[in-house]
Every structure is written in C-alpha cells, then in structure tokens.
Structure 1
C-alpha cells in the first residue's frame, strides 16, 4: 500500500483533493449563499487543485449562520435592555419637531429596530470631522479630559508617530486611574512587543481580535474587525473611517494626501456604541464584563439630532448596514451621493443604483483615481460601465486617496462609518455606521461631497467604453475574485 502511494502519490493527492472538493461544493450548494459567490468558490475549487481548498477553508465559511460570535450575553443583560427600551424612541413622535423625519426614514428606522435592536436616539450633538489630523487633535483633547473609562476598538493600530502619541496618552490616563480597555484587529494592526509591555505596565487592558499565527502574511483573512470606535466616559463617541496610523494623517513627509471622514457624537447614540464595544470586549477577552451605570451616564445633551447606530458582522442575523444602504437608495427621490474607497458591490446595490438613476434620481459615485490595491481597482472598474449605462455619474478623486465611507440622500439622511461598498464589508467584516436623520447634517455632508468633486474627474461614458481589451481582461479576472476581496 505504501509502495503504491509512494509510486502514484500525485494521482492519490489529486483524487483526495477532488473528493474534498465534492464535499465542499455540496456544502456550498446546501448553504444557498449568493449565486455569484457560490459560482466563484466552485470555479476556484475545481480549477485550482489544493489552492482552491485553502481559499475555501480560510474564506468560504459562513459564520453568520453558524453564530459562533454570540451577542446574547450583552444584549440580554437587564441593564442594556432597560437602556435600549428608554432610548427606543418611536420615530413618529419626531414629526412635530423641526428636525422631523420623512416617511421613508421612519420605515428605515423600523427595519433596523427589527433587524438588530438598534434604538433610534433623539438627543445628540454631532460633529463631522474631515481627515486624520483634525480627528486626532479633537480625540486627544477628549481623552486627556477622561475621568472614568476609555473604550477603544480599531482595525488598524500601529505604534508609528501618531500611534505612539495615542498609546502614550492612553498609558498616561491609565496611570491616573482611568480604566482603559483596548481591542485591535490582529491582522490590521502592528504593535511592537516593547509597546505592548509598556501598555501592560501602565495598566491598560488590551486584546487582539481573532489572533492569527502570521498576521503579516494573512492578508484579508476572513472575519476581521473593521470598526473604529472610541467611547470616553460613556458620553463621547467617535466612529468613522480613520484608523490609528501615520497613513491617515497628512504629515508633510507623507507621499500621498489622505482624504477621510469621521464622526464625533455626544449624546444618547454613544450608549449604542458602548453596547457594541462591550459585545466585542466579551468576545476578545473571553469573559463577561460586569456592567454598571457608569458605562451609561445621564445624558446632558438637549440638541435634537436623531441617530441610529447600525452594526453588522458574523454576529448579526442580517446584513444590517447593506440593507440600510439598499433601502435608502431605492427610496430616494432627489439624489444619492456615495463616497467609498472600495466599490465592489453585490447585485442588490448595483440594481438599486441603476433603478434609482433610471427613475430620475441624481445618483453620483465618488471613488479613488488610484487605489492601494491592484485587484480591488480593476474589480471596481469592472462594474462602472453598467452604472454609466444607467446614467449614474462616476467621479475619480485625483488629489490623493479618498478613504471616506459616506452616503447622503435628499438633504434628509446621512450615513458615515466604517463600511465600504463591497462584499467584505457587507457580508464578512465587523462594521459599524452612524445613520443620521437630520437635515442640517445632510446638507453639510452634501457640501463636503460637492467640495470633494472639485478634486475629482468625471468619467466620460464614451471614453470609458473605448478602454483597451487588456484592461477589460484584467477587470474580468479581478471581478472573478470580487466575492473574496
């Protein structure tokens, strides 16, 4: 037997490979996942022996359905239930206020309330922050004034120039007696052993999210925590696209200008951010944190700016953020302005944008001219022609790299957060967005979008259709991998 295997080892290996492939294909078909994604995995499994199995093992598991990320410990806590019940404002009651909510937004609010127990909060003070240098100036001041606790959750945290300032400040606050809890994604982040030792000695409690053996070579290993959250004393919250890295700060020595958007929230919506952080903390720390009222202090804000926090990931039953974006596009009446660094959408979003545009809605998409990923760039380009055919206006930002993840609709609704317009953000990563139902903030976000267009070039449909066949082949190849990017 051993002689046979040693003589025909390649044949045995191939046969074994395709036995496992048949099992994998059967598993994929029974799960009834997106047909495009299903076909991609089947092609990879059949065409690429051994490599296809590795890809499926690391990228093909549907953990949302398996529910390995359990949120019930936090969401079922009596304190969280009581707070959410108080916050869970009926949107119809806001129609009498100046910051009233339109009928379509009321339906969107109900959708998220049913999907993810995401309460509509009423009293908030919101500040839209442009670019990392402005965000960190504001954030550092608020951290400096922290009294009780600082809760942090980042996809990318590096101990470079800005990261060292950030961590040093946290160490200082921890030594002063402020409780600092820090969660960072193990693939996205890079922190030296020396810095980790300093954090430990300062009293910072920190955990890596889903550690991998070789993070440098893990690339986009599945189920990463792509969120960027800071909560200070349960009163101030930050969420958006800006990570902790020199890349996100426009230092003079940086090679490229980085355009990004973040939010500072003071008010009731911070309680929902806090709940999401605590859910993740229980997972990464493998413990149940004792909850008390200090996490949810009395709200002092009296400004009416309705906000919902939408979170999605393998721990949610539904793709909440994607559904919110889809609903907002198909119910738009005047315009939809989208900014995203990675545009690799699913069929639902493509159809929603096409239908909205063909029905007379002004649909505009702003993406980077140069991408930080060759594959993502060409995958994005593969979708543009079908959008241009539907009279959607597409712009490419040329001043630098635009990393903002925003959408503004009809001067009434804005969403800013961590979610890209791609498969990974919609279905795989842990993401979080703020949904703002306020006319003033929508007009501000619209003005920001319009200003960004001054640094962008619109794609001409006729010129785009004349691109070379080589580019079309590159696009087709990269689009094949789109569900895995």
Structure 2
C-alpha cells in the first residue's frame, strides 16, 4: 500500500515539474545538435589531427542521434497539442508555432499552454464531491423541472444545477461588501466570533499589514482550540514566505498549498491555478468575492491607488455549497477526507428569502458552469445587462451573446479598468472593445484607480458576484467560485454601485477608437494573439 502511494506521489511530482523539465530537455537536445553540427564543420576544416579533434569527432558522431531525438520530441509535442485542445484555432496556432519555432515554441507551450496531465489529475476532484451535495442537487433538479417557470431566470437555474451541482438555496441573508475597508472589517469581525472552525481558501495572501492581521486572528483561534484550515495557491501567493506559513503551523493552523510548483516567481502565468477566495466559519457564515488578502486591496499600493472591488458575506444555506467546494479542494491538497459532524449544521434561519446558487468552475468539470450561467443570464435579459470586469476577453460565445442583446435593443454596458495590472490581458481587453462598440454595447474606462469587481447584473432582478473574470482563463482554465443571486434588493444594491462607478468613468466611442495610433493597434493585436494561446 505504501509503495502504491509512493509511486502515485512520484507520478504527481513528475507531472507538477514537467513544465520545467520538458522544456529544459528540449533546449538541451537542441544545444547538443548545434554543438555537434559545429564540431563537424570544424573537424572538416582542420584537415589534420590535433588535440581537440577527438572532442570534435565525438560530438560530430552523436549529432545525427541528437537530431533524431529532437525530431521525435517535436513529433511528441505535436501529438500532445493535437489531442489536448478543444479549440481548433488554438490548436492550429500552437502547431504553427511549433513548426516555425520548434524549440522556442515547445518551451512556450509547456510553460504557458494547457497541460493534459494536470487536467487529468484535477478531474479526480469531480468524482469526489460531497454525496450530500450531489443528492441535494439531484432532488432539487427533479422538483424544479416539474414546476412552472416561475423562478427567475428559470433556464439559468436549471443549467447551473446540471453543470455544477449548484442547489438553489432560499434561506439566506446576503450583504454586499463594497471595497476593502468594508470587506476586511466584516471578515475580521466574523473570524473573531468563530466558535468551532474556520476554513479559508485564497488565491493570493500577502505577508503585509492586513495579511498579518488575518494571520494573527487565525493563530489566536487555533490556540483557543478551534479547527483552523487554510489553502493558498502556490503561484498566486508565491511571495508569502516560509516564516508566514511556519508561524501559522506552529500555532496549530493546518496549511496546505494548492498544486505546489518550483520557481513560482518565474512561472506566474502557469495554468490551472486556484483563483477562489472562500471563507467558511462554523458552517454558517461565508465570504466570497473579488478581494484577495493584501494591503493592495485596501488601496495602499501606490501603483494602483484606489482599489475598487466587490465581496459578499453570506449567512444561510448557501454556505453549505461553499463548504462543499472547500472540502473538495482540501481533500485534493491534503489527502484528508473530512467527515466531522458539524461541517454542515442545520440552518434555523435566517428569515430573509434570498435565492442564491453557489457555482464552482474549473478544469475538473467538462463544461464551464460560470460561462454557461453568464450566457444564460445574458440570453434571458429583457431590459438591461450591466457588467463590471477587470478583463474583457470573453470568447466568441459570450461576445456574440452581448452583441445580439445590444442589437436587440437592450441596454448593455460594461466597465473595464483604465489601468493595466497584467499588460498582455489589458491589451487583449482593449482589442475586444471595437467589435462590441460596433454592435451598440457601451463600454466605459474606470479612471479612479483600478476596478477589480467581477459583477453581472441583469434587469435589476438577478446578479452574479464572485472571482470569475470575463475572460477565457477564468472560464476554461482556473478554479473559480461565483454566486448567482435572484433577488431584486441585492441586484438594486449592485446597480447603485455600478451607477456610482460610472461617475468615475470615461466612455469609449467608435470615433475615438478609429483614431488610435498604429502602436496601440499593434499592442492590441499582440495581446489578442497571446491570450488566444493560453
């Protein structure tokens, strides 16, 4: 049994490090081939024996073998690329890169392209979801399918049940937390009031002011005897530091990285990252949304200035789904299958009626539930669609849905940042503006710092808030968590924030965009090509 576990761990380790080892092997083979070719030329030019001729002869002799191995390696890479991508355009693009830049293209692919082995490993998550959640979703699906289409929007609810096992929960109280001050104040208060356990899962945790405040609370609670568990993404939190982690562990906090890799600082764009931000307290209170843990999210970073973001505090049944997602990720990271009796407590309230679906999305699922939910919300709209997103790279299906909605006479507005945090994605976002403007979509540039909210509001009746950007990386590659909310009061609250944000925006126009300089056009083209490959 131990041997089997050891072999499994070794296999996973090899998969984790393949994105460094395989490109290095390709470079080594190419270098060996070049050296052997050079030695062959020198040997032919010398015409007489010398002290170095033995070395030249050796490398010249192995040259054909190095070339053969390099050719086989290229064929292997081409086969992997051919079978791995569902997107034909992306497959063709990677094949052309490999053809014309065999070594460089191969290195780029294994550093930034999709990873078949990693996807296969992640799919194990799909088969280990909570049996309680699965039965809940199946029972609710049968009940809802037999009802009249009275729940708004009906098709969205059904599609999310089928793609993400996301039950429609009703007994919830939901609070919209606007920006860092409100969010971290609520989080610190709730963490301090925890009585049984704290479960946290974050893409990015910084070793700074607010990061250490949160660490201090977790350590204090662990010392009080609470079960405190933390998952952090090894790439998103690459600079958290060993001292931070060791301090937590020494206080009794259980800490695990998500999909750890070597050299995370140099490999920050690797795929399949855990982009979720989840807190579950005693199984009754939950937090999720756009804010990671760091001073930057409290507007303390000079580069970005004011940081505009949206988070949620949830009390009620919907917290059970947050808990289910955390437990699945905990099982994946730690190997522990938690079955403590108080993980899913009975909900005696609250009295408020706020229908919510908590939707998880990631490479462990065949479809992208959040993208399906977005598409369904957009298609169901009859009056207006308002979206805030830090990145506007939606893919053809969502882009077409937005264009059709606008051409049908709906009020479609999108707010994007006027400031870049990731330069290639910023350029790619800019590249999508003209096409949408031509269809009548109104797009606004936020100029009061950086806007990081991920919000969709439809008809003032339904909304979605979470970690999912309006881009293909969030839809297809990273692990995300999103709330779909069917409540007029919450939607109205989010619309008010949207209108306030518009006062800090400048609207794009086709006339202005037509005059953009050649350099800007080139940047947008590069950004569009870059994001298409990753």
Specify the TM-score bucket, using the shorter chain as the normaliser: over 0.9
- Residue 68 of structure 2 corresponds to residue 68 of structure 1: no
Unmatched runs of 5 consecutive residues or more in structure 2: 1-35, 37-54
1:244-393 maps to which residues of 2 (within 5 A)? 244-251=293-300, 256-393=305-442
Which residue of 139, 146, 157 corresponds with 2:194? 146
- In the alignment, what sits opposite 1:35? 88
Which residue of 500, 503, 507 corresponds with 1:458? 507
Q: Which moved more, 1:24-33 or 1:300-309?
A: 24-33
Distance 1:136 1:65, change over 3 A: closer
Task: Indicate the SS of the match to 1:68.
Answer: helix
Deviations 1:288-347 (A, max 9, x none): 222424433434212111000111101112110011111211221111111111112211
Distance 1:238 1:95, change over 3 A: farther
Maintained 8 Å contact 2:200/2:280: yes
State the Cα distance separating 1:152 from its structure 2 match: 0.2
- Residue 151 of structure 2 corresponds to residue 101 of structure 1: yes
- In the alignment, what sits opposite 1:159? 207
Maintained 8 Å contact 1:40/1:480: no
State the Cα distance separating 1:63 from its structure 2 match: 5.8
Maintained 8 Å contact 1:64/1:314: no
Q: Which moved more, 1:81-90 or 1:167-176?
A: 81-90
Higher helix share: 2
Task: Indicate the SS of the match to 1:341.
Answer: coil
Unmatched runs of 5 consecutive residues or more in structure 1: none
- Residue 274 of structure 2 corresponds to residue 225 of structure 1: yes
Task: Indicate the SS of the match to 2:359.
Answer: strand
Report the TM-score when normalising by structure 2. Answer: 0.84
The structure whose Rg is larger is 2
Distance 1:328 1:252, change over 3 A: closer
The two structures, once aligned, show a CA RMSD in angstroms of 2.5
State the Cα distance separating 1:64 from its structure 2 match: 8.3
Maintained 8 Å contact 2:130/2:324: no
How many equivalent residue pairs? Answer: 479
Maintained 8 Å contact 1:90/1:120: no
Maintained 8 Å contact 1:129/1:262: yes
Deviations 1:364-401 (A, max 9, x none): 11100011122111111111111111111010000000
Maintained 8 Å contact 1:133/1:249: yes
- Residue 97 of structure 2 corresponds to residue 44 of structure 1: yes
State the Cα distance separating 1:28 from its structure 2 match: 3.0
Which residue of 49, 53, 62 corresponds with 2:106? 53
Task: Indicate the SS of the match to 2:124.
Answer: coil
- In the alignment, what sits opposite 1:409? 458
C-alpha distance in structure 2 between counterparts of 1:132 and 1:63, whole Å: 37
Report the TM-score when normalising by structure 1. Answer: 0.92
State the Cα distance separating 1:253 from its structure 2 match: 6.8
